[in-house]
Amino acid sequence: MDDSWRQDLIRRMEIKPGQVVLDISTGTGDIAIAASKICPQCQVVGLDPASNMVALFRKKAPEATMTLGEAEHLPFDNESVDRALCSFGLRNFHNRPSGYAEIHRVLKPGGLWGLLEMTAPKGRIFPIIYGFYFKHLVPLLGTIISLYPGAYQYLRDSVYAFPGYETLKSEHETAGFSLLHYRAIMKGAVGLYVFRKIH
């Protein structure tokens, strides 16, 4: 399902040939690769602090452009990027306001910033079923498959600690963005947001 959400995000980003597209927290490059397929005439750059992730990305797409770095210190000039994207990475920023400030700095006026992120879902029944799945089954299956329990405990804890729609919208308004699109996927367990840089 996550691939279809990434595709939806990219479709809503109004990416046009010739644009510079920055995929923050690119990991193994899923968004960057999909954006390059949709817009082969764009200059797509993936950025991530984890050299192991970037090495896997390079293996998958040797021709792609990628760089090591953190959202809080983007190695790009002011107003040099048309579109910034981030799927399932915002939760990991050390400091969200610093990340927003950097994204705002590198985006051209009117540029778009799109993100996908997980949080606790809303509702009466679904959060109970989802909570059982996400808090118990995911860490168990993740540990069996990866033999690395810490990663799946971190996933569970960071998702449940992450703010939802209202907080993210207000943080972005403070940082100089206005909300263009929002889609609550699975009762808000995943949020798809597109913001425009306004001033």
Ligand X SMILES: C[S@@+](CC[C@H](N)C(=O)[O-])C[C@H]1O[C@@H](n2cnc3c(N)ncnc32)[C@H](O)[C@@H]1O
List Cβ neighbours of 175 (8 Å cut-off, separation of 6 or more). 97, 100, 101, 104
Q: How far is the CB of 196 from ligand X (least distance, A)?
A: 21
Q: How far is the CB of 2 from ligand X (least distance, A)?
A: 7
Q: Tokens 């993210």 correspond to what residue? A: 168
Q: How far is the CB of 34 from ligand X (least distance, A)?
A: 10
* Residues of the shown chain interacting with ligand X in the complex, contacts defined by CB under 6 A: 24-27, 30-31, 48-50, 53, 70-72, 87-89, 92-94
Q: How far is the CB of 190 from ligand X (least distance, A)?
A: 11
User: Would you say 83 or 199 has its CB closer to ligand X?
Assistant: 83
For the chain, give the number of residues. Answer: 199
Q: Is 105 helix (H, G, I), strand (E, B) or coil?
A: helix
User: Would you say 39 or 190 has its CB closer to ligand X?
Assistant: 190
User: Would you say 95 or 178 has its CB closer to ligand X?
Assistant: 95
Q: How far is the CB of 18 from ligand X (least distance, A)?
A: 24
User: Would you say 27 or 139 has its CB closer to ligand X?
Assistant: 27
List Cβ neighbours of 174 (8 Å cut-off, separation of 6 or more). 97
Q: Is 111 helix (H, G, I), strand (E, B) or coil?
A: strand
User: Would you say 70 or 82 has its CB closer to ligand X?
Assistant: 70
Where do the H-state alpha helices sit in 75-136?
Answer: 96-106, 126-132
List Cβ neighbours of 135 (8 Å cut-off, separation of 6 or more). 156, 160
DSSP code of residue 91: G
Of 55, 113, 57, which Cα lies nearest the Cα of 81?
113
